[in-house]
Amino acid sequence: MGVERYLLVMVGGAIGSLLRYLVGAWVQGLLGPAFPWSTLFVNALGSLLIGAVVRLSLEGALSGEARLFLAVGVLGGFTTFSSFSYETLALLQDGEALAALTYALGSLLLGFFLAYLGYRLGGMLVA
């Protein structure tokens, strides 16, 4: 992989992270902090956008570099949930319903468990 590809991902990731912060703050300002609306909105928007980017790329409307910049860089920095959503969809489209269900539920349960474990370990480090 050439240095240019790394730079596309790096710059795209920085843009996506900044957009996540700005969009999240905007949504939270509109709807308040009582529920994680900003995360829900960012993840939903990222899922919509990665679907469009991947389809445009598959149809030849976007180059491989544009897909790398947008899907891996910008949307990867914006939300990794978008990648998870597309990968689950790809499994379903390939007729792998059980694999899609396993991946989706496994990701959710493993992510929740590891967040809890990390929370507990962090508490042990400061105790």
- Tell me: the pLDDT tens digits for 88-108? 999 999 999 999 999 999 999
Pick the closest to residue 48 from 31, 23, 14 (CA basis). Answer: 23
Residue 111 lies in a domain: no
Residue 56 lies in a domain: yes
Residue 7 lies in a domain: yes
Check pLDDT > 90 for residue 127: no
Mean pLDDT estimate for the chain: 92
Q: How many domains does the chain have?
A: 1
pTM over 0.85: no
Amino acid at 52: A
Amino acid at 55: R
Residue 116 lies in a domain: no
Q: Find out whether 76 is annotated in a ligand binding site.
A: yes
Residue 66 lies in a domain: yes
Q: What is the CA radius of gyration of the chain?
A: 17
Mean pLDDT of 59-87: 92
Residue 48 lies in a domain: yes
Domain that holds residue 13: 3-79
Q: Find out whether 102 is annotated in a ligand binding site.
A: no
